[in-house]
Amino acid sequence: MPEPVLSIRDLAVHFTTDDGVVRAVDGVTYDVYPGETLGIVGESGSGKSVSTMSILGLIPQPPGKVVSGEAMFQGRDLLKLSKKELRRVRGNSMAIVFQDPMTSLNPVLKIGFQLGETIKAHHGSEKDDEVKDHVIQLLRTVGIPQPERRFEQYPHEFSGGMRQRAMIAMAIANQPALLIADEPTTALDVTIQAQILEVLKTAQDETHAATILITHDLGLIAEMADRVIVMYAGKIVELGDVNTIFAAPRHPYTIGLMESLPRLTADEDWLRPIPGQPPSLINRPPGCPFHPRCFLSQGRARCREEEPPLRPIHAGGTGVHLSACHFAEELEGATSKLAEPTVAEGVT
Amino acid sequence: MTEVSRPPEPGSPDAPLVDLDGTLYASGSQVRTMPGAPTDLAPELTDSALAHESGLELKARSQWAYARSRFFRHRLAMGSLVVLIAVLLCGAFAGHIASYSYDAIDLNNINAGPTTTAHHYFGTDQLGRDYFSRVLYGIRTSARVAFFVSILSTILGTLVGSFAGYFGGWLDNLLMRFTDLILTLPPLAVLLVAAARLGNGTINLGLFHLGQEYRVALILALLFWTGIARVVRGLFLSLREKEYVEAAKASGSGDVRIIFRHMLPNSMGPIIVNMTLVTAGAILTESALSFLGFGIKPPTAALGNLIAQGETQMQTQWWLVVFPGLTIVIIVMCINFIGDGLRDALDPTQRRIRA
């Protein structure tokens, strides 16, 4: 196996609030390998964004605080870098595509200027002409027509899809080794989403960057990701390559997520939602955080008392497959209804 | 979609672009801009292609262009701008317009009322000095003070406000408590003490030899920056939470770069409007200070000390007070109207023009 680009070990991020300490990310460990797309899925508040933003120092501090862990990136622990060193990493070797392109571009600055800023922030010596050529090249890469004219325009003259293209161009401006896409298509309408995914793939091909794709859209994961992390209550509950996760999920939460999606190929009168609410991250239930909502637990004492470790599962798939369920073996033979590839395509 | 593509005019500078548009528009999709680029650009291109076809060029307009056109349509503000510029030009070219120097004495016409004889349009004072000339020179002095104060206090206030708002925490506390401290000082009392302590000499900075008006201006500027600092801090507190600031941070921009390149341009509207208010305030305060005898000292003419001089003879020689007074009113009113117009023009949510 090749060296991972990013190696996160036992990361924990806490937010101090008036009501208590919110354990937004609680002991997360994973690797991202060169060129791969790692999908992170989970509900709102499961810690999927915080786990990546925190390693770049982009969570508000205070109240947020990285309490433990390490994040090895290009031979350095990001969590031990000074502010200045971390700034050199951001937008340079590790870049982010944000969720909402409508608000992520500065309304009073020209698109060309904003993209140029990203380059100048890291390559201050580059001449203005070179920067401009570079920016126009970037705009062309992400499929913005007439880049010379678009260079001089303001964000309000761009459509939503075009703005997200510009955001992607900004992210790949400095040839990052790792691209973090934080719900890149959530704010866009469905027809544009497919285009943006194409652009994202192009950007990946151009830069050979590894990608972390944060989303709650399982269809997007099926389309884009090579490996999947499922997060629940600040913890990883299941990890595996995308085919394994969809064909042979081995955590009741993953199964629940997939069951709650409508199926296009069959006539369904009812969806099966996951009962209950996500747990409060201040008063986490003891034992397995999912046990109050779990169809498998059914009041078993072990689920209540003992926190399940993330352990290897042999469900027949390729690569590493981890699940944090005491009774994962009981799910033998379970398969998600999304396993058929036609469905996965149809959802995006 | 129908066949509407038109061959590019040979030799026109944007021929390739038209070609691209035309092909794209005709085929509906599938144009490769470069290997690996996405292929589904058609929906987003059609409007510009259409513009080409119908011969309409879509002119890109910036926020500033919109603001400018809104301002130009604001009648009151435009009228005020014209009047203000005229008044200021009179002050600037006082030496050419005025028939006398500001301290020239015409012993033949002492205490003369406004008359065209010997060009004493605004009358003369008890020393026989021409008040029309003195008012023109007074405009020059007061305008210098006003601009110096507005520029210096805006720079100072913007710096303090932006750093306090952006960094927050102890720096915000320190800077804002200092601002509060300045605000609690009774301005006139401080001005009187400062003016008295600093004297009235000219300032010698080697190359620059600044007149006594800059001394007054400096004192005013050191008191006037607080309003702008508070406004800018408030703006920065809200701008700091904007996603594009987070995006700028995520792309590795440093704090100073974010403050000056990303956030300051977003705050220019309120800053400019506040600058006009400070300008008007500075003229008024300088007049008050000169009136009290602690501002600009005669024989240098300033609008305030002209009124002060005339004040004792107001019963008999009304022109000594009325003309400089009117000038102050006109200048201050014009500046305030311009500020109003700017506020309306720079507020992007305000589409309607009040005039």
Is residue B5 scored above 60 in pLDDT?
A: no
Cis peptide before B270 (omega within 30 of 0): no
Is A184 found in the same domain as A217? yes
Residues of B in contact with A82 (CB under 8 A): none
For range B32-40, the mean pLDDT? 43
Q: Residues A221, A236: one domain?
A: no
Q: Which residue, of A173, A193, A225, is where some domain finishes?
A: A225
CB pairs under 8 A between A and B: 123
Report the CATH number that the domain containing residue A146 is assigned in CATH.
3.40.50.300
Please report whether residue A338 resides in a domain.
no
* Cα angle, residue A248 at apex, residues A242 and A252 outer, rounded to 5°: 105
Chain center to CA of A307: 25
Dihedral class, residue A233 (left if φ above 0, else alpha if ψ from -120 to 50, else beta): left
Q: What are the pLDDT digits (tens) for B73-121?
A: 888 989 999 999 998 888 888 878 877 777 777 777 777 777 777 777 7
Domain presence at residue A76: yes
Q: Which of B34, B40, B247 sits opposite A98 (nearest CB)?
A: B247
Cα separation of A215 and A43, whole Å?
Answer: 9
Task: Answer yes or no: is A62 within a domain.
Answer: yes
Q: Is the pLDDT of residue B222 over 80?
A: yes
Amino acid B210: pLDDT: 63
Tell whether A1 is covered by a domain: no
pLDDT tens-digit profile of B305-338? 888 887 777 778 888 888 888 998 999 899 889 9
Whether residue A194 is found in the same domain as residue A251: no
- Considering A191, A225, A259, which residue would you say is the last residue of a domain? A225
Q: How close, in Å, is residue A27 to chain B by CA atoms?
A: 24
Higher pLDDT among residues B191 and A50, named by residue: A50
Residues A40 and A157 in one domain: yes
Contacts with B283 (C-beta within 8 Å, 6 or more apart), sequence order: B142, B143, B145, B146, B303, B328, B331, B332, B335
Query: Taking 90 as the threshold, does the pLDDT of residue B154 lie above it?
Result: yes
Residues A103 and A157 in one domain: yes
Residues A63 and A192 in one domain: yes
Q: What is the mean pLDDT of chain B?
A: 76
Q: What pLDDT digit, counting tens, does each position of A257-293 carry? A: 888 877 777 777 777 778 778 888 787 778 888 888 8
Structural domain including A247 reads 230-331
Q: Do A90 and A238 fall into the same domain?
A: no
Say yes or no for a CB contact (<8 Å) between A58 and B262. no
Please tell me which of the candidates A117, A143, A202 has its beta carbon nearest to residue B253: A117
Q: Of the candidates A225, A244, A275, which is a domain's last residue?
A: A225
Q: For the whole model, what pTM was predicted?
A: 0.73
Better pLDDT: B19 or A263: A263
Averaged over B122-141, what is the pLDDT?
83
Pair (A24, A74) in one structural domain: yes
Distance CA B307, CA B283 (A): 13
Q: Where do the domains of chain B lie? A: 79-102+136-346
pLDDT at residue B208, as a whole number:
57
Q: Is residue A158 situated within a structural domain? A: yes
3-state SS assignment for residue B155: helix
Q: Residues B158, B271: contact at Cβ < 8 Å?
A: yes
Is A58's CB within 8 Å of B60's CB? Answer: no
The domain defined by B79-102+136-346 folds into: MetI-like fold (1.10.3720)
- Alpha carbon distance, N-terminus to C-terminus of chain A: 31
What is the average per-residue pLDDT within A181-203? Answer: 82
Residue A214 and residue A266 in one domain: no
Q: Based on the structure, what is the number of domains in chain A?
A: 2
- A347 domain residue, yes or no: no
Q: Minimal Cα distance from A95: which residue of B?
A: B251
Mean pLDDT on B37-64: 50
Which pLDDT belongs to residue B321? 85
* Cα–Cα distance list, B123 to A56, B116, B314 (Å): 73, 9, 13
Q: Clarify whether residues A115 and A161 are in a common domain.
A: yes
CB contact under 8 A, A170 and B247: yes
User: Is some CB atom of chain B closer than 8 A to the CB atom of A339?
Assistant: no
Residue A337 lies in a domain: no
Residue in chain B closest to A137 (alpha carbons) equals B34
Same domain as A146, residue A270: no
Least Cα distance to A27 among A314, A329, A308 occurs for: A308
